[in-house]
Amino acid sequence: MATAFEVLAEPRRREILDLLRGRERLVGELGEQLALSQPAVSKHLKVLRDAGLVAVRQDAQRRWYRLRPEPLAEVDSWLAPYRELWARSLDDLERHLDAMPDQPDEGTKP
């Protein structure tokens, strides 16, 4: 089975997850939003479902897909040190900018 990282490497799958973030959707609706055929959307949804990132609910002849955020915790945990790195870098930039002397705007006369 593919890891969440492998599944999320495909941009269309990330787009599907973005659409499912707000609410459940049908395959046809996802296809319309992404300008993809129903078979193409179904293939992506199968990969997402196999990875546990989406769940399906059968309602008569319709299948409603929804996001399952729990598997994204693995990705979030992996990203945590990188967020800290960026936060430190931005803090360093802020300190550097704060230490710089104020300069008048180019359009302002001294």
Of 15-19, 35-39, 68-72, the poorest mean pLDDT is in 68-72
Does residue 79 lie within any of the structural domains? Answer: no
Q: What is the CATH number of the domain that holds 37?
A: 1.10.10.10
Full-model pTM: 0.74
Does residue 33 lie within any of the structural domains? Answer: yes
CA distance 43 to 77: 28
Does residue 97 lie within any of the structural domains? Answer: no
Q: Which domain range does residue 22 map to?
A: 4-67
Does residue 73 lie within any of the structural domains? Answer: no
Does residue 22 lie within any of the structural domains? Answer: yes
Residues 61-110 have pLDDT tens digits of: 999 999 998 888 888 888 888 888 888 888 888 888 888 888 776 665 55
Chain centroid to CA 5: 12
Residue, of 110 and 9, whose pLDDT is higher: 9
Residue 109's pLDDT is 59
The DSSP secondary structure of the chain, one letter per residue, reads: ---HHHHHTSHHHHHHHHHHTTS-EEHHHHHHHHT--HHHHHHHHHHHHHTTSEEEEEETTEEEEEE--TTHHHHHHHHHHHHHHHHHHHHHHHHHHHHSPP---TTS--
Count of structural domains, the chain: 1
Averaged over 42-58, what is the pLDDT? 95
Does residue 44 lie within any of the structural domains? Answer: yes
Does residue 21 lie within any of the structural domains? Answer: yes
Does residue 32 lie within any of the structural domains? Answer: yes
> What strands lie across the sheet with 25-26, from one edge to the other?
25-26, 62-67, 54-59
